[in-house]
Amino acid sequence: MGVLSQFVSGRRLGSSSYTQPSPFGSPSDPERTHVAAVCYRLQNGEPEFLLVRTKNGHWTFPKGGVDGDASHADAAAREAYEEAGVRGSIERTPFISYKHCKPGRMSSRKRVIWVHAHLCEVRHLVPPAEDYRNPQWFNAEKAKRRLQKFRTSEFAAEVVSVIDRATERILYR
């Protein structure tokens, strides 16, 4: 899988008491870095985004931790393949970082993590390793609506900003 070496700047979203995300971890878990693959294709000149389901049936980007991968981009590419069956080109540098509310082991315990998002242009799809993921394509507006469901307004705004920034990057390269 090719990795694009374009430079893309990340940015901090929203106003909050959180510090600028570090490439080495998240405020709640400084030992583990989380990454997402924002998978897309162009249909009639417009981007479509590939979302996957969580175990609870909510829509999300393929994402996970950096676990012994050579780079953050390699981890994002691995997550795209495992969760969505994606083969494609992923950008080496995250184009944005966003806050995500991750459920804890006990349902009453949730934690906020930073996720560093990498754009991934989809070239080919195979069935994902995780059957329940059910990857589906959505145009930008539908992707935003699907991602907003079951999220607080703060976290919904975070994922909407990811789609908006990705759309800008894709269309105005």
Q: How far apart are CA 157 and CA 93, in angstroms?
A: 22
Say which DSSP state 25 is in: B
CB 62 within 8 Å of CB 51: no
For residue 118, the enclosing domain spans 3-171
Helix ranges (H only) for the chain are 72-84, 140-148, 153-171
Q: How far apart are CA 59 and CA 56, in angstroms?
A: 9
| 80-96 average pLDDT score | 97
8 Cβ contact partners less than 8 Å away, ≥ 6 residues apart = 91, 93, 94, 95, 119, 169
The values of phi and psi at residue 38, to 5°, are -90, 95
Q: How far apart are CA 72 and CA 74, in angstroms?
A: 5
| 70-88 average pLDDT score | 96
Domain count, the chain: 1
18 Cβ contact partners less than 8 Å away, ≥ 6 residues apart = 12, 27, 99, 112, 114
Structure tokens at 149: 């469901």
Q: How far apart are CA 4 and CA 14, in angstroms?
A: 28
| CATH number, domain with residue 43 | 3.90.79.10
Per-residue pLDDT tens digits for 15-46: 222 333 444 444 444 568 999 999 999 999 99
* pTM of the predicted structure, to 2 decimals: 0.80
At 71, the pLDDT band (50, 70, 90 cuts) reads: very high
